[in-house]
Amino acid sequence: MPEHPQIVFAGTNGGELTRIEDYEAVGGFAALWRARAMAPDDVIAELETSGLRGRGGAFFPTGRKWAFVPKPDQLPKPHYLVVNADESEPGSFKDREIMLRVPFRFLEGCLIAAHGIQSQHVFVYIRGEYEREFEVLRDSLEAMRKAGLLGDVTVVVHRGAGAYICGEETALLESLEGKRGQPRTKPPFPAIAGLYAAPTAVNNVESITTATCVLGLGGAEYAKLGVENSTGTRVFSLSGDVVNPGNYELPHGITLRELIYDIGGGVPGGRELKAVIPGGSSTSVLTAADIDVKMDFTSLIEAGSSIGSAGVIVIDDRCCMVQLGIRVSQFYEHESCGKCTPCRVGTRWMTQILQKIEDGRGSQVDLDLLLSVCDRIMGKCLCPLGDSDAIAVLSYVARFRDEYQAHIDLGRCPFDGESSLAGILAPSAMHERHGHETVHV
Amino acid sequence: MSVASEIHKLRKRYPDPTSAVLPALRLAQEEHDGWLPPEALREVADALEVTPAYCLSIASFYDQFRLEPVGRTLVEVCTNVSCALAGAQRVLEAFERELGVQAGSTSADGRTTLGTVECLGGCGWATVVAIDNRHRLRVTADDVSGIVEELRA
């Protein structure tokens, strides 16, 4: 999108900067030298000025997160920077493209962050399914080591092994310690007692890469981009029923309509837009009537959803919203770590009730029960995984209540097997089909 | 080099050797035809000074570790929302037909295991199919016979 400033992908011209000399030719590592000439606190202050907030989904101010990490003399333990590259939110695929196309800008950000929190130990936790991305990071890191850029910092790229829950920061830390990826109670927060119970900052790939841009441009200059409360650009992941799916770096505050129609080319085949999931599968669905909303933190909350990881899933009128509920719930059921009962049992129960409604066996009681189960998950677990399922499904029921009601009143799915999600086989259903059933409830 | 000496190298990357359990299990799985038989868990346990039961507790938690034999080639079709909207079920059914195997099982000749998988992070390039962890993007049902032919070559 030539009319929009490219910050994260600056200098790529739509391609990739995977050779260190190409990256240096577009000004690569200037931000690192600038940061290293600054006191660590000044680096953090620059981030605070930029207004950069976390791109992983929680939107926590990055500078403040770094400021929470005690100074080495306050807490004389090794300090750690852990980068969350466990991108697994359905609808989100931006971190992958960042690591593939601007790996040096990302790794430069790791070193800037390490300087800011006075850490000599960086771990990049990358999801196990990202094979090529791992290789690109490994090779880029080796090139930086040879170029003498790492200084006294060690960077370890650590591969996960297939678990969505490890995108939750404390589960990620458990996994990095060689345990099952199950969330911890908070407090203590990772800033105080994170990896190996030592001070730790955990940041998302896009946040860290943007930190390089903040140091390059200056915090005040970066803050001029985007809108109030949501400064800068965002790499939006656009997928689903849209003509031009892909990642698009755009300033915060662009409308969902512009994103879907001007950038994404609209809904294919002359179909009608039905629904949009704006920030990954964990966020509340919006209807076609809501798409003039601006894509920023505050506007999406006002619209009853959230920006999440900015993974936008476009859904046309062929999709049955009960089937969508089933498929989303199956995902969370599959990915629940099992630690908290409301999530472990509730997500499964939600799938079963939704399936009953879809099969035409549901009564009014089942719809009430579904909402009640959601209510009994929300806010009752250590992490937001179960809440995400409940939030998503509650929003489908709230915004497409007539469609849910029609399943009950008709005693069948009104789509008569013609929904775009009809018959889709989720991994959880596949395991059950083959009798790999584990103990539940 | 033996698995044990490779794992000893991995240990040194971490302040606490237990942190090496995921990469060590990955390595052991690669050495044992794509799955973790009891002897593989024992090798990892010995090299990291943990128990085999501990290794099993980890291996059973993460989807990429397998505790039963798998085919030489692993075909995994993403069926999460964006891929599903793009026709992932038709892609899956085409693989079932072409390979003569039901999703969730291994072909009789032991060559190929077919399954579905949760979001692989390629929603904009749906349908994503992972073949031995290498992602094929924008796969349609029409592409499947060509892919299967390639796998058989």
ipTM: 0.97
Residue A189 and residue A62 share a domain? yes
pLDDT for A104 beyond 90: yes
pLDDT higher than threshold 90 for residue A59: yes
Mean pLDDT value across residues A239-252 = 98
Cα angle for residues B85, A280, A193 (degrees, 5° grid): 145
pLDDT tens, residue by residue, A199-218: 999 999 999 999 999 999 99
Q: Which residues, listed in sequence order, are joined to residue A236 by a DSSP beta bridge? A: A248
Q: Tell me the three-class secondary structure of A310-375, residue by residue.
A: CEEEEEECCCCHHHHHHHHHHHHHHHCCCCCHHHHHHHHHHHHHHHHHHCCCCCHHHHHHHHHHHH
Please list every residue in chain B whose beta carbon sits closer than 8 Å to the beta carbon of residue A425: 79, 89, 92, 103, 116
Interface test with B, best of A195, A430, A432 (most B CBs within 10 A): A430
Answer yes or no: is A438 within a domain.
no
3-class DSSP state for residue A157?
A: strand
Residue B68 lies in a domain: no
Domain span at residue A402 reads 321-433
**Which one of B81, B117, B125, B134 would you mutate to disrupt binding with A, by most A Cβ within 10 Å of its Cβ?**
B81
Per residue in A115-154, pLDDT (tens digit) is 999 999 999 999 999 999 999 999 999 999 999 999 999 9
Query: Residue A435: which pLDDT band, with cuts at 50, 70 and 90?
Result: low
Same domain for B125 and B102: yes
Inform me whether the C-beta atom of residue B21 falls under 8 Å from chain A C-beta atoms: yes
pLDDT value at residue A1:
45
Q: Do the strands A80-85 and A200-204 form a parallel or antiparallel pair, or are they unpaired?
A: parallel
Residue B141 lies in a domain: yes
Return the CATH number at A49. 3.40.50.11540
Nearest 10 degrees: CA dihedral of A112, A116, A117, A120?
A: 40
Interface size between A and B, measured as CB pairs under 8 A: 169
Are residue B105 and residue B138 in the same domain, yes or no? yes
Residue A171, both tokens: 């589960």
Has residue A395 been placed in a domain? yes
Pair of tokens at residue B81: 């929302």
Nearest CA in chain B to A155: B13
Distance from CA of A221 to the nearest CA of B (A): 31
**How many Cα atoms occupy the beta-carbon half-sphere of A24 within 13 Å?**
9
CA distance linking residue A412 with residue A410, whole number of Å: 5
Taking CA atoms, what residue in B is nearest to A166?
A: B62
Q: Would an 8 Å CB–CB cutoff place B13 in contact with chain A?
A: yes
Assigned domain for A3 exists: no
- DSSP H helical ranges for A177-306: 190-193, 205-217, 219-223, 256-257, 297-302
Candidate from A2-11, A74-83, A346-355, A374-383 with smallest mean pLDDT: A2-11
Within a domain: A6: no
Give the number of domains in chain A.
3
Would B64 be classed as within a structural domain?
no
User: What is the largest distance, in Å, between two alpha-carbon atoms of chain A?
Assistant: 70
Mean per-residue pLDDT for A417-426? 96
Find where tokens 């509650």 sit: A394
Quick one: which of A79, A115, A111, A113 has its CA closest to A199?
A79
| Residue A439: pLDDT over 60 | no
Tell me if A424 and B57 make a contact (CB, 8 A cut-off). Answer: no
Q: Which of B11, B22, B68, B91 should be substituted to probe chain A, the one whose Cβ sees the most A Cβ atoms within 10 Å?
A: B22
For residue A281, what pLDDT is reported?
98
CB contacts, 8 Å: B119 with chain A: 88-91, 164, 331
DSSP state of A294: B
- A436 pLDDT exceeds 60? no
Q: Do B121 and B145 belong together in one domain?
A: yes
Task: Single out the residue in A224, A254, A273 at which a domain terminates.
Answer: A224
Residue B101: which domain range? Answer: 73-152
- Among the candidates A300, A316, A332, a domain finishes at A316
Residues of A with Cβ-Cβ distance to B16 under 8 angstroms: 177-178, 196
Cα dihedral sign, A3-A56-A65-A216: negative
Q: Which residues of chain B have pLDDT under 50?
A: none
One domain, residues B77 and B144: yes
- The order of strands in the sheet holding B134-136 is B105-106, B112-117, B73-78, B129-131, B134-136
Contact A421 B84 (CB under 8 A): yes
Closest CA in chain A for residue B122: A93
- How far, in whole angstroms, is CA A254 from its chain's centroid? 19
Q: Where are the alpha helices (DSSP H) in A203-254?
A: 205-217, 219-223
Q: Tokens 């891929």 belong to which residue? A: B83
Q: Cβ B92–A425 below 8 Å, yes or no? A: yes
Nearest CB neighbour to B79, from listed A324, A420, A426: A426
CB contact under 8 A, A327 and B19: no
Which residues from chain A sit within 8 angstroms of residue B36, using beta carbons? none
Q: Are A301 and A84 in contact (CB under 8 A)?
A: no
Question: Which residues, other chains included, contact A349 with Cβ-Cβ below 8 Å and sequence gap of 6+?
Answer: A373, A441
To the nearest whole number, what is the mean pLDDT of chain A? 96
User: In a 10 Å sphere around its CB, with 0-12 CB exposed, 13-18 middle and 19+ buried, how is residue A412 labelled?
Assistant: middle
Looking at the predicted structure, is the pLDDT value of residue A356 above 90?
A: yes
Measuring CA to CA, which residue among A164, A168, A56, A178 is closest to residue A428?
A164
Contact A158 B63 (CB under 8 A): no
Mutate to test the interface with B, among A344, A395, A425 (most CBs of B within 10 A): A425
Flag if A163 and B63 touch (Cβ within 8 Å): yes
Q: Which residue has the tokens 């089942």?
A: A366
Can you read off the two tokens belonging to residue A227? 């809108």
Q: Region A301-318: what's the mean pLDDT? A: 98
Nearest to B118 among A160, A246, A331 (CB): A331
Q: Is B85 on the interface with A (CB under 8 A)?
A: yes
Q: A372-393 burial string, b = 16+ CB within 10 Å, else e?
A: ebbeebbeebbbbbbbbbbbbb
A441 pLDDT above the threshold of 80: no
Nearest to B19 among A178, A237, A424 (CB): A178
Interface contact A240-B62, CB threshold 8 A: no
pTM for the model stands at 0.97
- pLDDT in the model for residue A193: 98
The predicted structure's pLDDT at residue A438: 45
Q: Which of A286, A316, A346 represents a domain boundary (last residue)?
A: A316
- Does B81 map to a domain? yes
Nearest 5°: the CA angle A406, A409, A415 is 40
